[in-house]
Structure 1
Amino acid sequence: MADRQGLGPVLTVPNLISFMRLLGVPLFLYLFLATDATGWAVAVLAIGGLSDWVDGFAARRLKQVSRLGELLDPLADRLYILATLFALTFKDVVPWWFTIALLAREAVMVLCLVVLRILGHGPPPVHYVGKTATAILLMGFPMMLLAHLSDSARPWAHPSGWALLWWGIVLYWVAAVFYFIQAAVHVRAGRAAAAGAP
């Protein structure tokens, strides 16, 4: 099934995986904030993080790459990160300064996308550094949550979680710099093509 807006096929295996990942966001928030099922919340968060690469792998393996899938994958990643970040900050698992540092990066990216849209360009392609940073953050969050919930796991889960979060946020900002460079090259190429058009 394909749409008429250039998004490509909709009902594909990778897109269904992305939809399932999106459904995991409200499920995690409900389990973690509204119930005592924190163990299940950790499981949902871990599965969401570990499945980060599955939709992209399935798209390439099954030759089902689509524009919709390219939009859903980073959307699911960002929603997982933001929802988890707010929930863990609310529960004092992650400090506010880390939240502000990560949100500042998201604000910079949104500003970049707005400028590109105003200039008539779409978003730059997802960079592997950004995907790596996202995967690391999505592994660090459940590790921090596990350390918060289990006294026996805390001695190894807490330092491991912080190592992943530090590594992830540094790469996250490095990826933002790469996106800026990609966007600038894209805009310059578009202007050069427009100037050279008869």
Structure 2
Amino acid sequence: MGDRIVTWPNALSAARLLGVPVFLWLVLGPRTATSDLIAAGILGLAGITDWLDGKLARMLNQQSRLGALLDPAADRLYIAATVIALAVRGIMPWWLFGAIAGRELIVAVALLVLQRRTVYGALQVSFVGKTATLCLMYAFPLLFLGAHSGTTAEVVRVLGWAFAIWGIALYWWAAMLYLTQVRDLVRESGMEGAATS
């Protein structure tokens, strides 16, 4: 993993981060059908660029430490902003916000433990975690568009809930995998410390 900053994957992650305030303004500001459609498009684009930046990093051999931080940060920020905005608008129930926020809190505490007790700074991103993020990135724009009236909106809403339920289940499964990683790394670090003392 290199120290390069200016790479295509990093540019995509940075663009995703810049889209968060625009999305929030569109959802919480104008509240028109057009602004909702543009906001859903931004969410869809965020999901595509999330997949694309990882693909480009591997294809162009442009993995970097900055990219390893930017990509999950952009994912988490989008998920947090979307869940809060959709809950404020009444499109998504607050229990779903609680399920996602609770998972993030548990993983954040685990990362703090990891940083304090070992030399490891980050966890290996799992396929389950990436799949969970992708499901949620599909769920949010579908739930958003499904909040309008009509038969099409109802079908879209059902699809959105299907992705949301799968996404939440996979999100918590990924959290359990991360907690297992933290436990193993802390235990391994403790054994190494005991062996050298």
- Name the TM-score class by shorter chain: over 0.9
- Relative distance call for 1:150 and 1:28 in structure 2 (3 A) is farther
Question: TM-score scaled by structure 2?
Answer: 0.93
Q: Map 1:1-198 to 2 at 5 A.
A: 8-35=3-30, 36=32, 37-120=35-118, 121-197=120-196
Question: Is contact 1:147-1:154 (8 Å) kept?
Answer: yes
Amino acid at match of 2:23: F
Question: Is contact 1:146-1:153 (8 Å) kept?
Answer: no
Question: Is contact 2:139-2:161 (8 Å) kept?
Answer: yes
Q: Aligned residues, how many?
A: 193
1:45 Cα deviation after fit: 1.0
Kindly provide the CA deviation profile for residues 96-146 of structure 1, in whole angstroms up to 9, marking residues without a partner as x.
Answer: 111111111111111111111221431211111111000000100000001
Greater Cα offset, 14-23 or 186-195 = 186-195
**Gaps spanning 5+ residues in structure 1: where?**
1-5
Q: Sequence identity of aligned pairs in percent?
A: 42
Moved over 3 A (4+): none
Q: Secondary structure at the match of 2:147?
A: helix
1:71 Cα deviation after fit: 0.6
Higher RCO (C-alpha under 8 Å, 6+ residues apart)? 2
Give the Cα–Cα distance (whole angstroms) in 2 for the partners of residues 95 and 7 of structure 1: 42
1:191 Cα deviation after fit: 2.2
Amino acid at match of 1:113: L
1:11 Cα deviation after fit: 0.6
CA RMSD, Structure 1 to Structure 2 (Å): 1.5
1:177 Cα deviation after fit: 0.4
**Gaps spanning 5+ residues in structure 2: where?**
none
Question: TM-score scaled by structure 1?
Answer: 0.92
1:3 corresponds in structure 2 to none
